[in-house]
Amino acid sequence: MNTLNLHQLYVFCVVARTGSFTRAAEELYIGQPAVSQHVAALERALGVPLVYRVGRGMRLTEAGRLAADYGERIFRLAEQLRAGIADLKGLAAGRLVVGAGQTPGDYLLPAVLGEFRRRYPGIAVELEIADTRRVVEWLVRHVYDLGFLGDEATHPDLEVEPFAEDRIVLFTAATHPLAAREQVALAEALAAGLIVREPGSATRAAGERCLAARGITPSISMELGSNEAVKRAVLAGLGVGMLSAYAVEVETATGVLRPLPVPEFDCRRTLCIARHRATPLTPVQAAFLDLAREMVTRRAPSGTSVASSRPIPHR
């Protein structure tokens, strides 16, 4: 085997991540032929094909998936080396990559990011929103430094701890007939047409677990791919939404949406922080986590609380 060229490996990792030679070339600001040449050179060095073409697209071979996995780890370790050196100089420089589910990523972390950058302007922070399964996968592969999950997750390579308690609410537009009621039966709310997130959403899974605990398998009126789409459908009078209390906090405060008082539906879940157990917690990561806990404590919506810091054991 020839000596491994890390630049070629980096180009290949971008191809693997973007799923396209063209998109990789755009991200790297080089020509597509140069991308192809780097990948071909890496294939010669490793002695195996890493990609194969399917129509106008490409797919990774089994060796390609392995190379991409190890490549991501190598470059994350390189970033951790740079971050570690920066930490020795204090919190004046460094890089932090955070993955988050939609609820913590959209409604809790933006304010934390803003304050963190104000306090530590030399530290670059990247936030990527993804579903819980993707965040867990990329934490395990060392792509993310920290993960904020919309639900509890277990993996033998991860340390997971509670971050905040969240409440799943049923809500309508302020003009909906149920909005004026002092109390609404769960059956009435569900009969009005339930509008939820797509399958795979941690928010939907938490709500459905609560309903299943009461022996209810709801009939879904609409399933949509984002919190904003659910809220717009509800505002249009199309039914009753089911989302995190954080997701409807602003609209509730302005009076355009109304959480329904449904005594039979007291649905809570734990938002969690996760990180790889094999990677020491750096000062940059510790500072971000401390700030996140502090700020979430101050802004928890009514009926929720910040969870105590206790590890969740893997099963």
d(CA 210, CA 166): 13
Do 172 and 264 belong to one domain? Answer: yes
Do 99 and 157 belong to one domain? Answer: yes
Would you state the torsion angle of the CA atoms of residues 227, 296, 302, 133, taken in this order, to the nearest 10 degrees? 40
The number of folded domains in the chain is 3
Domain enclosing residue 232, as ranges:
166-268
Per-residue pLDDT of the chain (315 residues; tens, 9 = 90+): 567 899 999 999 999 999 999 999 999 999 999 999 999 999 999 999 999 988 778 899 999 999 999 999 999 888 888 877 776 567 777 889 999 998 999 999 999 999 999 999 988 999 999 888 889 999 999 999 999 998 888 899 999 999 989 999 999 999 999 999 999 999 999 999 999 999 988 999 999 999 999 999 999 999 998 999 999 999 999 999 999 999 999 999 999 999 999 999 999 999 999 999 998 888 889 999 999 999 988 765 555 544 443 444 443
Do 50 and 84 belong to one domain? Answer: no
Task: Using the 3D structure, point to which of 28, 52, 70 is the last residue of a domain.
Answer: 70
Inside any domain, residue 309: no
Inside any domain, residue 304: no
Do 170 and 160 belong to one domain? Answer: no
Do 240 and 216 belong to one domain? Answer: yes
Task: Using the 3D structure, point to which of 21, 51, 70 is the last residue of a domain.
Answer: 70
SS3 64: helix
Do 133 and 274 belong to one domain? Answer: yes
Do 222 and 261 belong to one domain? Answer: yes
What SS3 string covers 131-189? CHHHHHHHHHCCCCCEEEECCCCCCCCEEEEEEEEEEEEEEEECCCHHHHCCCCCHHHH
Do 81 and 210 belong to one domain? Answer: no
C-alpha separations of 121 from 87, 89, 91, 96, 268 in Å: 14, 14, 9, 12, 36
Cα maximum dimension of the chain? 74
Do 148 and 179 belong to one domain? Answer: no
SS3 107: helix
Is the pTM of the predicted complex or chain greater than 0.85? Answer: no
Angle, to 10 degrees, between the axis of helix 21-28 and the axis of helix 6-18?
120
DSSP single-letter state for residue 85? H
